[in-house]
Amino acid sequence: MAAIGYARVSATDQDLTLQISALQAAGCDIIRSEKASGTTRAGRSELATILDFIRDGDTLMVTRVDRLARSVGDLQDIVRTLKLKGASLKATEQQIDTSTAAGKAFLDMLGVFAEFETNLRRERQMEGIAKAKAAGVYNRKRKNSVDPEAVRALIGEGKGASSIARQLGIGRASVYRALKAAP
């Protein structure tokens, strides 16, 4: 029987250290971690690996349910997969233990709240975008950060794309785009 930890954050600039420390303190033998959105299971290879290899009697340990899933459907699918394999789910910061009836009930409630929070965040984001569009300040396209005139001038000096990219602090593809966009 192994305790397998799973840590997840959504953004690449977020830190996993606190989750990993909590999982180690909880006695996890193995800890898998990743930086990926919790709104879907797609693209979460570490979670998929755990679910593929977890065995009868093992426990999947997370710090909080929202680290595992942000939709009730995904959460229930994960719990079903664990149950079919004879494994259980526990959380270090919440009273969740799917080996008990109370733990299962509490898990379902937390899953509903995690999904609700995600939906509220999405609604606020859409409201903000609509407000910015109405004010005329929303532009999904980035402003051109490459000066096509500077690129053409450097080409005129006989410099190559790699040299221009280094000199202007841009990528080679940006050099080619600037040349293509220039009249």
- Nearest CA-CA partner of 153 in 127, 177, 172, 178: 178
Beta pairing partners, 80: none
Task: State the Cα–Cα distance between residues 13 and 16, nearest whole angstrom.
Answer: 10
User: Has 99 been annotated as catalytic?
Assistant: no
Helices marked H in 26-71? 45-53
Question: In this structure, what DSSP letter does residue 147 have?
Answer: -
Cβ atoms 3, 50 nearer than 8 A: no
Residues 10, 33, 37, 163: which is the catalytic one?
10
Contacts of 164-171 with CB under 8 Å at 24 or more apart are 170/145, 170/146
Residues serving a catalytic function are 10
